[in-house]
Amino acid sequence: MEKLSSMVSKCMVEALKMPKDLVYGDVLIQISGRHEAYIENYKSIIEYTDGKIRLQTKSGKLLITGKRLHIEYYTGDEMKITGYLTDFKYE
């Protein structure tokens, strides 16, 4: 039943050309070079250290690694990270 509903929603998204991040709640990552990243639709911060930020998203955990990582700001669903970014990984 769950599979059917997900198939229906997938077909509707395709047919109506709706943005997937709105329908599925997918995380959006916008990276500017190596020094800046905007992350939208995250749920919470799991871990934050100087070299690692782990975020909970709807589709899983997102691990951002780098050096001197700095959170410029964060709100309920949006975050800006600066520093030297090396890796973005889903866990």
Partner 1 sequence: MRAWRFTSMRGYLLILIKSGSPERFFNICNVHQIELWNLSNTPEGYECNISIRDFRRLKPVIRKTRTRICIRKRYGFPFFLHKYRFRKAFFIGIAAAFVCVYLLSLFIWDIHIEGNYSYTEQVLLDYLSSEQIVHGMRRDQVDCDRIEKLLRSKYSDIIWVSASISGTRLIIQLEENFNNWQEREENGYCDIVADRDCRITSIVTRSGTPLVKQGDVVAKGDILVSGSVEIKDEAGGVLRTEYTAADADISGESILYYEDQLPLEGQKKIYTGEEAYAWSVSILGNRFFLKAGITGFEHFDILTENHPLVIGTNFYLPFSIEKWYYKEYCYEQEILTEEEAEKALKKNINEFFENLLQKGVQIVGNNVKISIDKKMGSASGRIVVICPQGRAVPFGERNDTDYEYNGNDT
Q: Which residues bind partner 1 (CB under 8 A)?
A: 44-50, 69-76
Complex with partner 1: residue 13 or 43, whichever CB lies closer: 43
Complex with partner 1: residue 33 or 76, whichever CB lies closer: 76
Tokens of 63: 């691990």
Tokens of 84: 């030297």
Q: Side chain identity at 71, as an amino acid letter? A: I
Complex with partner 1: residue 46 or 63, whichever CB lies closer: 46
Confirm if 82 and 28 have CB atoms less than 8 A apart: no
Complex with partner 1: residue 21 or 50, whichever CB lies closer: 50
Q: Side chain identity at 81, as an amino acid letter? A: I
Q: Side chain identity at 37, as an amino acid letter? A: A
Q: How far apart are CA 80 and CA 32, in angstroms?
A: 11
